[in-house]
Chain A
């Protein structure tokens, strides 16, 4: 690999790399887009259950037809995944077992049956069947253009349905009861949306495998949710994240022989989620932490300013200096020294040496403004101050500051 350019050129010239990259991108795009609805409906685990449930479908489809054509195996996966989803719904409706338990049970039962059938088929020993086990962990390198076309076809049908029923799916995800009162067949729409999630799972099976596929349903959507508060943008962003994860995963895995594509794609998607969780502007943890620090700093400054002011008022001079200890006693639990240093550098407070601190005239005005601000909002509504707070209302602050 001489340069990045040569490497990128490979995507267009190298058949395998191109196929794998394209396949991984389609998989990411479809699962990101459809997974958004699963995540918003708090059905993240459904993807996990459906992908595991798809395994016996793949094997049975092979046993019945003897064919390994991607479309045949996908249809098998689709049927089994769908059956699993239906079973989950049935058990949830008819019993008192909570949904997450049912999902766990269905996942285990279907996956177990799938593994048994898979082992059995492999014992039969016809050369044709080697390769079914790629569905376990996925083997993107084995993708051919035919697979990519099948993925694009199945995925495209899913996207078309989301486009058609956008309004209905939105309402169903937000407020299903209300949708029912308006006359929308909520049960049917539920089945349709679940089917689409199964479709997303099926699209990714060959590349990522049943075990990791659920991550592709959840990760792009969870990441996208961090960046926007609009459903359409979230869904598009999730599709973009998915495609990006697919592309970068495929490219990274092509760099070295030991890097399997499916897991790389999932890792890339997880990385995107990590970045989103940390750095998204409104919901990101870093932003929230910074905002919190800023608020605390601001509150500390106000507290110290007002404490100094209150202490000074009883001497009839707003800039009268006091011992650090007196300020600390007035507002316990506040890091007074550090805040005073910050106030001093802003020219609002001044150290007179020997732990004596007082306000500057500018600081006194600032403190007055703060107090007025609270008065406007009504002092009653403020949380009660510590009783040691020495604010004396008898003295008119205006006279003191002159």
Chain B
């Protein structure tokens, strides 16, 4: 399902293969992300979801294939892309506060040698306010709860003021307040015409939160609008044997699939 005019696509991926040592993590991935979409990447553990995001960001070198951001390599389009890494990827005992972390989102715009000043401080405070964290700006980051840390990271991505936002499991282990804050921000971004791609774990909330979905399991299983793609058949293909259990959550509360699971445990 390739479009002829990929010239203006925020993200265009062709024949992408990534391998750690000999093991392929992503295999022959083709992906087009249209403008202004809110796309979830879902798939089982080890499906290569994070790897896909990191490869788009040039953090991982692919074995084959290419990634285009608005028809150019990422290295030329950095300022158009914001990144929200997994919360667990940094040491939160680092001696700094929330505001300082958010200001790091401006370092790319600042370039070399220039120090962040009042402008960066103001932008960072605005972003913190957007995620409901303005009161915690001065708090040492280790004293924030997991959800608050996640919102600090979200604010750091916001302050990058990009066209494309790549988020690695922002909903992982957060409280209800944070989940609401994140989804509000995601919708605002979409309303502003930005493109957001989110690695997501909770199948239950996919139809509610996202308009597009990519089902990934090393290969692309299916991709497109949630209404068309997020079907039991596709999910079964992506998740293999565990699908009945997941489907019970993904669909309406329906006793049948749960029963199926208890009967058919010989997966």
Contact = CB atoms under 8 A, between A and B. Distances in A.
Interface size bracket, A side: 20 to 34
A233 B89 CA distance: 25
Nearest to A224: B95
A168 B75 CA distance: 18
A179 B104 CA distance: 9
A182 B95 contact: no
Interface string A198-235: 00000000000000000000000000010011110110
Interface in A165-221: 165-168, 170-171, 173-175, 177-184
Nearest to A282: B140
Contacts of B58: 180-181
The residue among A165, A174, A231 with the most chain B CB atoms within 10 A of its own CB is A174
Contact of A167 (B90, B97, B116, B156): B116
A285 interface: no
Nearest to B114: A167
A173 B90 CA distance: 9
Given A167-B110, A181-B78, A182-B78, A173 B94 contact: yes
Nearest to B113: A164
Contact of B101 (A167, A174, A230): A174
B57 A183 contact: no
A181 B74 CA distance: 9
Interface size bracket, B side: 20 to 34
B30 to A, nearest CB: 23
B81 interface: yes
Given A178-B104, A183-B108, A234 B95 contact: yes
Contacts of A178: 83, 85, 104, 156
B78 A40 contact: no
A229 B107 contact: no
21 contacts: A164-B113, A167-B107, A167-B115, A168-B107, A170-B96, A177-B59, A177-B83, A178-B83, A178-B104, A180-B57, A180-B58, A181-B58, A182-B107, A183-B75, A225-B95, A229-B95, A229-B140, A230-B95, A230-B97, A231-B100, A233-B95
Given A178-B83, A180-B59, A228-B95, 15 more contacts: A165-B113, A167-B110, A167-B116, A171-B104, A171-B107, A173-B94, A174-B101, A177-B59, A177-B85, A177-B89, A179-B107, A180-B58, A181-B83, A229-B96, A230-B97
